[in-house]
Amino acid sequence: MEFYQVIKTRRSIRKYTSKEIDEDVLKRVLDAARIAPSGSNRQPWKFIIVRNIERKKTLAKLCHNQSFIAQAPVVIVACGKNIHYNRGEWMGDYSVIVDVAIAVDHLTLAARAEGLGTCWIGSFDNAEIKKYLEIPEDVNVVALTPLGYPEDPSEFTETSDRLPLDQVIFFEKWGKR
């Protein structure tokens, strides 16, 4: 798929078929996350691949009962190891979130290129998911996403609900259009 077409038609998918994902397709999508950039190339991420139906259902509950998450054949839990990034100044405290978010964005775009749907999940109970998946103390969940084939592939429509460019761009300094 053409690069800009991938970006324009990546949409949040909340209905999935049960069709399994081939291992080589899954590997390509995960590899897109693996090669993402990160501060000082620290790569502070781990991705937990969940396929077990009971475990997916429990995760969906821990995402404030977003039951569609368990419908997808795979749920990915993106985690970040909490290392303070000195050179990041005030960004240091957030760097792990930035790093993992970039990797997850790579993943969602690669998924789209493969015809797979994702939905960034930011509403979840970090403490409970950590307990449930035995995630270490110094690691937090940054995002989850279901991964699977959309029930209705026509949902991959071009994004139209965004602010126009002239409302999000300033020239040279804040407020100058």
Ligand X SMILES: Cc1cc2nc3c(=O)[nH]c(=O)nc-3n(C[C@H](O)[C@H](O)[C@H](O)COP(=O)(O)O)c2cc1C
Query: Hey, is 122 helix, strand or coil?
Result: coil
Q: Which is nearer to ligand X, 32 or 63 (CB)?
A: 63
Binding string, 32-71, against ligand X, x = CB under 6 A? ----------------------------------x-----
Contact 68, 15 (CB under 8 A): yes
Region near ligand X per CB under 6 A, out of 11-19, 20-28, 75-83, 163-171: 11-19
Using the rule CB under 6 A, which residue among 122, 131, 169, 170 binds ligand X? 122
Q: With the C-alpha atoms ordered 61, 136, 107, 51, is the resulting torsion angle positive or negative? A: negative
| 60 exposure class (CB count in 10 Å sphere: 0-12, 13-18, 19+) | buried
CA atoms within 13 A of residue 57's CA, in its CB half-sphere: 3
Region near ligand X per CB under 6 A, out of 6-14, 16-24, 131-139, 167-175: 6-14
Binding string, 154-173, against ligand X, x = CB under 6 A? -----x--------------
Closest listed residue to residue 96, CA positions, set 71, 126, 56: 126
**Residues interacting with ligand X, by CB under 6 A?**
11-12, 14, 66, 119-123, 159
